[in-house]
Structure 1
Amino acid sequence: MSDFEKGFKTLFQNMELGAYLQSADGSMVDVNHAALTTLGMTREEFLASCGTQPRWRLTGESGDDLSPDQHPATIALRSAEEVHDFVVVIHQEGKPAPVWVNLNAIPVRDRGGAPDAVMVTLRDISQLRRLEQAAAVTTAEREREHKQLQLQHVQKLESLGVLAGGIAHDFNNILTSIMGNTELALMQLTPGAPACENLHRVERASHRAAALLKQMLFYLGKGPFSSEPIDLNLLLEEMAEMLQAAISKKATLRLESSRPLGLFSADPVQMRQVVMNLVLNASESLRNEVGKIKISTSQKHYQQEELAEFRGSEELAPGSYIRLSVSDTGYGMDKETRARFFERLFPDTGRGLGMAAVMGVVRGLRGGVRLQSDVGKGSTFTLLFPVDEDVPTAAPTTKPDGEPMGMGPVLLVDDEEEVCQLVGAMLERLGYEVITARDGHSALGLYLQRDDYAFVMLDLTMPVMDGEETYEQLRGIDPTVKVIITSGYSEKEVARRFEGKGVKGVLQKPFDMDALRKVIG
C-alpha cells in the first residue's frame, strides 16, 4: 500500500462525517467509524447487510422503497456526476426507530477518468426530522384548535341568529302595535291637543327602535339593507335629539343645514349609523373637555381636481354631490394617525360602526371621504354622496282622516292577538270588513266559506302551518286569490321568496297607515 493510500485510509477512517466506499459492481470496499456509529452497526454487520441478504432497506421521504437503481451511489456511478442532499430513511431489522440520513455520492475515477467506485457520505438528520415532525404536529394541533374555535364561533353566531330572528318576530309585532295604536290615537285627537306631541314622540321613538332592530338583523345576516331616497337634512333633524343624548355632556352640538338639498339613494339605517359614528368619534376626540361639534350639509358641483383629495373606491367622477361635514374642536391628529385612521376601528371605546366601516358604506354609495386634522386644531370629516338625478323628490304624504279607500271583506291571518286587533282597526278605518284567523288551518276554512274577499293579509311566521304553506294552499283553492304578505324580515328578502307566485304585495313589520295604504293600492 502506497503512502498516499495509507494517508487516504487514515483520513477516511477519522472523518467526522460518516462515509463508505462502494465499487462499481456494488460490493462494499470500506466503511468508516462515523458511519458505523450513525447506523449503530459493527463493520462486519454493515458489510454483511449489503450482501445477498441485506438487513436494512432504504425508503425515500415519501415512504416508498428504493430499488438499487434509485440509490444515489448507483445514480452517481451511472451519470459520473455527484449526487447531493439525497434524503433516505434506513430501516434495520431489530431496531424500531428508523434512521434519517442525508446522502452525498461522489464518483471515484480510475486513471483513465472513468468512475470505478463511489464514496457515499451520510449525515444523521433523525433528530432534526423528529423536531420538524413534532413542530408539524404542534402546528397541526394549533390549526385544528383554531378551526374548532372558528366552528364554535360560527355555531354561536348561527344560534344567535336564530335567537335574534325569534326576538325580531316578537319585537316587530310589539312595534307594530305601538306604532299603529299611536297613529290611530292621533287620528282620534283634535289637532293641537296637548297629548299630540307626546304621541308624536312615541311615534318617532318606535321608528328609531324599528331601525335599530333592522340594523341588528343585518349584522347577524338576517336581512339586507334597502335603498331609498335620502333627504339628509330631514334625517339629521330626526336624529338631533338622539345625537345630543349620545355625546359628552360638556360638548355643544350645532346643526347647520343648507337648503335646498338634493336626494341620494342609500339605506337610512346605514346613514344613521354613519352619522352617529362620526359624531361619537368627534365627542371622543374632546376627551371629556368642553368643546364644540358641528354638523353641516350642503350641495356642490365638484370639478375633477377638487375631488382628488377625497378617498373612495375609485376615482370620483365630476358632478353634483351632497356634502356632509362633521367637525370638532378636539385634540386632532398627527400625520401618522391620519394615514392609518381609516384602517382602525374608532372610537376606541367600541361604540359605533368604526371608521373603516364608514369608509365601506361611503364606497358602496360611490362617494368619497376627506379627513382634515392637525394636532391641537381639531378634525373635520367631509363625506360626499353623488346626487341621484333619477330620484324624484319625495312628495308629502297625505293622510285622509277616516276616508275609506276600499270595501268588502278582508281575511286577516296572524297568530298575534294584538296585531290582529290593531291591523283590523286600521283596515276598518279604511272601509273594509275584517275577518280574523289565528292560524293557517282556520284561514283555509274561513276562505272556503265565502268567495267575495277583497284580499288576504297573511303573516309569514306562524306555528303549525306557516304563511308560505298557507299561501300555497290558498292558491290551490283559488288561483286568483290576492294576498298581502306581512313579515318582520326584510321586504326584499320576502319578495324574492315569493317572486313569480302572484303575491299582491309585501308589508314589512312594523308598518303604519301610510305603508298599509300604499300596499293595498
Structure 2
Amino acid sequence: MAHQPTPDERRFRALASSSVERITELDARGRVVYVGPSHGRAQDDVLDSLDHVHPDDRAAVAARFAEVYRRGEPERVTFRVIDLAGATRWIESTITPFPAEDGERHVLVVSRDVSQARELEHRLRESRERFQLIAENAYDMIVEYDSDWKLRYANDRAHAVFGIGQSDFESRLDTDFGWVHPDNRNRIKANFERVTSGELDVVDATYRSRRADGSWCWIDATLRRYLAADGEPHFLAIARDVTERFEAEQRVRDSERRYRELVENAPLGIFVVQDNRIVFANAAAAALHGSASPAALCGTNLSEWLNEADVRAVIESVARSSRGTSGGGTFTLHLTGADGRERRLSGVGTMITYAGAPAFQCIVRDVTELERSRRDQEYLSLQLQEARKLESLGVLAGGIAHDFNNLLAVVLSSVRYARSQDATPEDRSDALSDAEEATESAARLVKQLLAYARRRSPEVRNVDLSEMACSLTDLLSTALPGDVALELDLAREPLLVRADVVQLEQVLMNLVLNAADAVSDGPGVVTVRTSRQYLEPAQLALWLGGEDLAGGWYACLAVEDTGAGMDAETRTHIFEPFFTTKQDGHGLGLSAVLGLVQGHRGAIDVASEPGRGTRMRVFLPADDTPVPSTAHRARAAIVLVAEPDGGVRGSAAEILRGAGMEVIEASAAQAQALLEIHDDELDAAVVDGALRAADGRRLVQALHADRPDLPLLALGAPDDEPLSADREALISTVRRPFAPDALRDRVARLLAKRDARG
C-alpha cells in the first residue's frame, strides 16, 4: 500500500512547489537527496555540485558546509557561482541541519539568486562613495539636518571654515541666531522660518557668520527643504565662504568711491571726450569753462567752447597718445569760457575705455597766472643779470680809469713832444706813432667793455671755454687789485659747450670778481682752469643744479682763490639773492651765476674751508661737434707777442703780420695759458724785457722750462735784467721805442739762428 503523506509533508511539498527559491536536501556525504519540484528539471541548475562554485569562493563554501554538519547549527552563506553560460551569479543560501529518518544528519539548503540585489547594493555603495568623495573635496560647505534639526552630515570644508566640531553645528542653531551678525540676523531668521514652515522649499542668502575664534566671515548659502525616504522633511544647506570675494568687491567699491570723490573734487579740470562730445566732466572742468555745473558741460561739442586750432590740438594729442609717441597726449588750449573770461589751459590726455567704448580723458589746469608769473620771473631774472653786470662794470671802472689815465698821458705827452720846437721830424713821427698806438689800445679796451656791457637776446652757439677765458684776461686783470695775480690753467684741446657767450662771460667775470674780493686783504692768486671730465649722475646729484642731469662728458670752468675761505653756514647761503658778506655788496653775483648755469643745463660745485681758500667749479655739458683741424694749415712763422702794454703789443703784432708772420697776441697772464695750447706750434716769442711784473717773470720761467729752444726777443733797454745766460744765441733785444724794420730784422735773425742749429 502506497505511503500516504502526512499533512506536514503535504504542506512542505506545496511550499517547495510554489517557492521561487531553490530547496535542496543533502545527506551527510553531500549528495543531493531532494530537490524542490520547481527546480528539479532546471537545465541551468548549477547548485548540484561544488564544481559550479566560483574558484575564489569554493574552499570557503566547503568549509562552511562542513562546519554546519559538525556543529549542527544553521548558517547563512553568500557566494558566487559560474552558470552554464559562463556568467558569474551571486547566490545566498541558508543551510539548516536536521536528523534524517535513518538517523544521519542531513541539511536543508534554501538558495536564491541575489545577483541583482548585489548589483544594486554595489551601485549604491559606489554612489555613496562618489558622494562622499565629492562632498569631502568640495569647495562648498555641505550640511544636512533631519526634521528635528539633528545633524546628519557636515563635510570637512564646513568644519574648516567655521573652526568647529560635529556637535557644535547643532548648538549653533539656537533660537536667537547668535551666530549671525546683528546687521543680518532678522533677515536670516525670517528666511529660515519660511523654509522650516514649508512656505518655501529653497531660499538663498548672503550674510555674515561668526567663526569659532569670534571673527566674522561672509557666507553665500542656499537652504533647501526636501522629503527623505521616510517621508520626513530634511534640510540641506550648501554654502560658500565668500569673504575674500566680498572684501575684494568692497575694495573695488571703495576704490571707485575714492576715485569718484578724487575726480569730482580735484582742483584740476577732468573731462572725457567721445565722438568729439564731452560725456563726463568734473566740477573743476565746469568752472574753467564757466558752466553752472558739470551736467551743463556734458553733451556739448568741443567746437562749442574751443576754437578750431585748439580742437585740432586735442585731436592731434589723441593721435599721438594712441600711437604711444613720446610726449604724446599733451596740449595747450586758449579758452574763452561761458563767463567771458580768457584762460590758457595746459593739459594731458590719455586713451581710456568709458562706458564700454574708446574715449579720450583730458586733465587740464589753468596756467594763465602761471604764464604771467613766468614772464614776470624772466623779466626779473633779466633785470637781476643786468644789475649784476652793472655792479661788475662798477668794479671794472676803477681799473679801466687807471689804464685810460696812463694811455691819455702817453697821448698827451707824445702830442706835446711832437709840437715842441726841439723835436726833429723823425722824433715827431715816432711821437705821433706812440700816440696812435695808445689811442688804439684805448679803443680796444673800450670795445671789450662795450661787448661785456651790451644788452641783447641770448645767442646759443659753440663756445670754447678756454678761448673765452683768454679773451677776458685783459678785462679781468684790469679789475684785480695790484697785489692779486691772475693765472690761467687751460685745457690744450678745444673745450666746446653749447652756450650764450655773453652769459658765460658774465659767469666767469662774477666768479673772478668774487675770488678777487676774497683775497683783497693781502697778496694772493686767482686761478682760472678749464678741463673735460666724465661725470656719473650720482656725482652730479651732489652739486647745485645737478639733481636731474644725465651722466656724460662735461666741460669744467673752475675759479680758485687763495683767500680766507668760507665756513659751512656761509656756503649754504651764498647763492641766495641779496645774501652778501661784503659791506658794500648787493648779493646778486652768485645768484645770477646759478641762474645762468642752470639755464645752460649745468651744475655748480663749491669747495671751501676757512683759511684754505675757495674753489668754484661750473660744469656744462660738453659739445662733441668736431672742430676743424689746424694741423695742415699753410706754414708761416708763428710768433707769440706777450707784452703787458696793449699799444706796444698791437703795434708789434701789426709789424710782424706785415712781414708775413702769424701772430698770437696776449698779455703775460694770457700767454701762459696760450703757451700750453700752442706750445708745439710756436716759432718765436716777443716778450717784455723789463721783467718787472710777476706775470712776466712766470712767463719767461715757463718758456725756459718748456721750450728752451724757442727764440726770444725782449722789448726793453740794454740795462734790463738778462733773460738767460745759457741761451744767448737765441735771445735778442730791441730797444723801445723800436723801429718796424728793427723789429722785423731781429725776429728774422732769431728764426734763422734756430733753423741753422737744426
Regarding TM over 0.5, the answer is no
Larger radius of gyration between Structure 1 and Structure 2: 2
TM-score, with structure 1 as normaliser: 0.35
